Structure 1
Amino acid sequence: MPNERPASAEANPLRRLSLDQLRLRTSMKWRTYPEDVLPLWVAEMDVPLAEPVARAVLDAIAIGDTGYPTGTAYAEALAEFAGKRWNWDGLAVERTAIVPDVMLGIVEMVKLVSGPGDAVVVNCPVYPPFYQFIRNMDRHVVEAPLGQEGRIDFAALDVAFERVMGRGGRGVYLLCSPHNPTGTLHTAAELADVAALARTYGVRVVADEIHAPIVASGAAFVPYLSVPGAQDGLSLMSASKAWNLAGLKAALAVAGPEAAEDLARLPEEVSHGPSHVGVIAHTAALRDGGDWLDALLAGLDDNRRLLAELLAEHLPAVSYQPAQATYLAWLDCRELGLGDDPAAVLLERGRVAVSSGMHFGTGGAGFIRVNLATSPELIIEAVRRMADVLP
């Protein structure tokens, strides 16, 4: 059942930093484009660190605790978080492994359950690095396009699984849950159907669940490994998106009961990649950052409503369905007459940087992805600039 969030005493973190303060940052979001460009593209949030996270990092630095990661504190914190937030008590600490980040964790999980030349199924349009990392592993991408309203099209998925397994070898389904860029939350029934179909064909499921903590009010995330039939699945989870910790690298691979032996074959050297300070930060976020997260989620609810109102007033030709999860907005700009890549036009003429739908695979032409994890003032200015591009 969807969980309503209690009112948080925390201030909205999306309203804490000015544009001048944000431009002091040296990360990709703020240094890729000139200063006259509003950056609403890459998945970084315009927020200060949650106080419990900042305190944990500073405490570690104060005592020189900057060595190599070890132990199960991160997994224990995630298991506790999963029980509270998702009503899931099935995350077994002994079936987890620390990995450098979610995408590198996906690479390692795919390697465990497939070989060079095998195929990986994705639901397009989808997070662009899926394509890049899969191909760099010498695997083939097979697309199963999303259906109406961004939901899994099981007829397309069936065709993709049949094609993959008909090639011989092994097949993997890289499930994006919640889905990036659409923000779709897969239901328990849909995920159970995924598990059943995957078992029918002998396809292994690897779930990218990095956006799991970021849900709209009244919505509920369902972990893939919690549904019937998913016992042989593998999941990647992290606190990085929900608490803006991409620069403090760490993530967890989680195995279902029937995938424990697969995870046990993970090379020992993979555990050398995560940041020890990152593990400390992620653990603190999951254990003590709940109030901050609730304030963030409330702010994101407000920003989704704001964007819908602004588009209706200034860009009514743009189709937008507020997402159930993530802090991303997937906008259909095909009626604007800006061609297949409206992001390029908006950057050149409007000085707004958004993600081009062209990079998300089949179905992305004419779309843009907008990062809503910023202040309302920047969203207002971005829509104004976008509207000014039109004749």
Structure 2
Amino acid sequence: MTRIPHETSGEPNPLQVLTLDRLRQRTSMKWRTHPEDVLPLWVAEMDVPLAEPVVRAVTDALHLGDTGYPAGTAYAEALAAFAGKRWGWGGLAVQRTAIVPDVMLGVVEMLKLVTGTGDTVVVNPPVYPPFYMFVEHMDRRVAEAPLGADGRIDLDVLEEAFRQAVAGGRRAAYLLCSPHNPTGTVHTAEELSAVAGLAERYGVRVVADEIHAPLVVGGAGFVPYLSVPGAERGLSLMSASKGWNLPGLKAALAVAGPGAAADLDRMPEEVGHGPSHVAVIAHTAALRDGVTWLDALLAGLDGNRRLLADLLAEHLPAIRYRPGDATYLAWLDCRALGLGDDPADVFLRRGRVALSSGLAFGTGGTGHVRLNLATSKEVLTEAVRRTAAALR
């Protein structure tokens, strides 16, 4: 698979457009959970204006009164074209896709297709907390295969988890986070091929959450799970939600490998009634016409990763931070600060900075926090200053 380099964007950095006063007018979870004196760098919302093509598409739909039920394959076609140009992957077949309400609800539906009540779903902690919540709510058992000390998939640990998961002839699934949230790790083609080989050997079905796929630094190279040899029976969930800051406009796509098409065909028709038609229009416009905006965002995020590393080295050198190649999230090891299991609580109470507690991310989350980098340089700098002041 040949990866196509990102084009140079002429757009301004979206992270530097909105003032803090303007952002505080928002009514979403990020800006209404905490009092106004708190800097919110926790939940996955970005401090950006929407890409102009998305605004135009949604505005045009509203002017037309085009607010009915979703129909057609425009979203899948836009994603297939984006995948071909961005990742050099021509294997996203529109006929093997289905629209779902969002990525996590799509994950639930895919897991229902390949596992039953009481079966095991393997995850790689520290990992996105809803992996635990959604899986356990659907009466599946979560089994952990922790990442290695280098933040990458430990294939030996994963194999043992697979072996135990299928013991007694039970079905099992592996919920792969790619790119990985919270570490920002981008899995390589070799790693994913090894995963596919293990999954086939043990009869484990892979469901890949690839929502952060558009948010990969150009040199890292995102590899779709379904593009690697042996992944034909895999299922993937993709969306424009994270890349273009559209979490409130719910829509995603389930994508099946050639060997999983029959599974996807068994998904109940009513699942496709959940997505918003306006959201589908917005996501389609983002993938089709919002690439220059995305490239400007990626450049801004890359600058913020470097800025955060410099700020921590200057003000909080005891915090360990390994910048990832994807997402707009930073995973910070604060154990050397001696703040106990939940340093996020200390930073909120003393510094008035809201970060995500590492505890909810499973094994490996104790003493860690997740920081949302998708903000202005000024807000990021003030957040680190407050955090450092909280320790004095």
Identify whether the pair has TM-score above 0.5, normalized to the shorter chain. Answer: yes
Note the residue ranges of structure 2 that are not aligned, 5 or more in a row: none
Match of 1:337 in 2: 338
The number of residue pairs the alignment matches comes to: 391
Contact 1:40 1:352 in 2 (8 A): yes
Once the two structures are TM-superposed, the CA of residue 286 in structure 1 deviates from its matched residue by: 0.2
Q: What's 1:55 paired with?
A: 56
2:278 corresponds in structure 1 to 277
What SS does structure 2 have at the residue aligned with 1:240? Answer: coil
CA distance, structure 1, for counterparts of residue 150 and residue 16 of structure 2: 31
Partner residue of 2:41? 40
| Greater mean deviation of Cα atoms: 184-193 or 217-226 | 217-226
Q: Is the 8 A contact 1:333 1:368 kept in 2?
A: yes
Q: Deviations over 1:266-288 (max 9, x none)?
A: 00000100000000000000000
Q: What's the CA shift for 1:115?
A: 0.4
Contact kept? 2:3, 2:86, Cα under 8 Å:
no
In the other structure, the counterpart of 1:134 is 135
Within 2, Cα distance between the matches of 1:47 and 1:221? 23
Deviations 1:9-52 (A, max 9, x none): 10100000000000000000000000000000000000001000
How far apart are the structure 2 equivalents of 1:217 and 1:341? 34
After superposition, residues 170-319 of structure 1 pair within 5 angstroms as 170-319=171-320
Tell me by how many angstroms 1:2 deviates: 6.5
**Corresponding residue of 1:108:** 109
Distance 1:5 1:54 in 2: 23
Pairing 1:360-375 to 2, within 5 Å after superposition = 360-375=361-376
Asked if the contact 1:119–1:170 (Cα under 8 Å) also holds between the matched residues in 2, the reply is yes
Counterpart secondary structure, 2:42: coil
How big is the shift at 1:112?
0.3
| Aligned counterparts of 2:310 and 2:205: Cα–Cα separation in 1 | 42
Distance of 1:367 and 1:2 partners within structure 2: 34
Alpha-carbon distance between aligned partners in 1 of 2:198 and 2:169, rounded to the nearest angstrom: 18
CA distance in 2, matches of 1:153, 1:390: 35
Give the C-alpha shift of residue 167 in structure 1.
4.1
Q: 1:247 deviation in Å?
A: 0.6
CA distances 1:245-270 after superposition (whole Å, capped 9, x unpaired): 00110000000000000000000000
Q: Which amino acid aligns with 2:20?
A: L
SS at match of 1:150: coil
Deviation of residue 390 (structure 1)? 1.3
Deviation of 1:168 after TM superposition, in Å, equals 3.1
Unaligned runs of 5+ in 1: none
The residue aligned with 2:31 is: 30
Q: Secondary structure at 1:120's aligned position in 2?
A: strand
Give the secondary-structure state (helix, strand or coil) at the position aligned to 1:241. Answer: coil
| Preserved contact between residue 217 and residue 301 of structure 1 (Cα < 8 Å) | no
Contact 2:3 2:87 survives alignment (8 Å): no
Give, in whole Å, the separation in 1 of the partners of 2:3 and 2:339: 38
What CA distance in whole angstroms lies between the structure 1 residues aligned with 2:216 and 2:304?
13
Q: Secondary structure of 1:173's partner?
A: strand
Deviations 1:108-164 (A, max 9, x none): 000000000000000001000000000000000000000022100011101100110
Is the contact made by 1:2 and 1:218 (CA closer than 8 Å) also made in structure 2?
no
Q: CA 1:2–1:71 in structure 2 vs 1: closer, same or farther (change >3 Å)? A: closer
Matched-pair contact (CA < 8 Å) for 1:16–1:48? yes
Counterpart of 1:279 in 2: which secondary structure?
A: helix
* Residue matched to 2:87: 86
Determine if the alignment matches structure 1 residue 383 to structure 2 residue 387: no
Contact 2:6 2:86 (8 Å CA) reproduced? no
CA distance in 1, matches of 2:103, 2:192: 20
RMSD (CA atoms) = 0.8
CA distance in 2, matches of 1:212, 1:138: 28
Higher mean C-alpha displacement, 214-223 vs 172-181: 214-223
TM-score normalized with structure 1 length: 0.99
Runs of 4+ in 1 over 4 A off after TM superposition: 1-4
- Give the secondary structure class of the aligned counterpart of 1:184: coil
Q: Please give the alpha-carbon distance, in whole angstroms, between the structure 2 residues aligned to 1:172 and 1:5.
A: 33
Deviations along 1:311-364, whole A, 9 cap, x unmatched?
000000000011110000000000011111000000010000000000000110
In the alignment, the residues of structure 1 paired with residue 108 and residue 128 of structure 2 have an alpha-carbon distance, to the nearest angstrom, of: 14
Give the structure 1 partner of residue 97 of structure 2: 96
3-state SS of 1:326 partner: coil
Name the SS for the 1:34 alignment partner.
coil
Question: What secondary structure is seen at the aligned counterpart in 1 of 2:201?
Answer: helix
The Cα shift of 1:4 comes to 4.5
Task: List aligned pairs for 1:318-333, cutoff 5 A.
Answer: 318-333=319-334
Q: Does structure 2 conserve the Cα–Cα contact (< 8 Å) formed by 1:3 and 1:218?
A: no
Deviating more after overlay: 52-61 vs 216-225: 216-225
**Structure 1 residues 167, 333: CA separation in 2 closer, same or farther (over 3 Å shift)?**
farther
SS at match of 1:149: coil
User: CA contact under 8 A between 1:2 and 1:219: conserved in structure 2?
Assistant: no
| Amino acid paired to 1:20 | D
Displacement of 1:219: 1.2
In structure 2, what residue type is equivalent to 1:290? V
Given that residues 347 and 390 in structure 2 are in contact (C-alpha distance below 8 angstroms), is that contact kept between their aligned partners in structure 1? Answer: yes
Decide which moves more: 235-244 or 161-170: 161-170
For residues 137-148 of structure 1, the aligned pairs below 5 Å read 137-148=138-149
TM-score by length of 2: 0.99
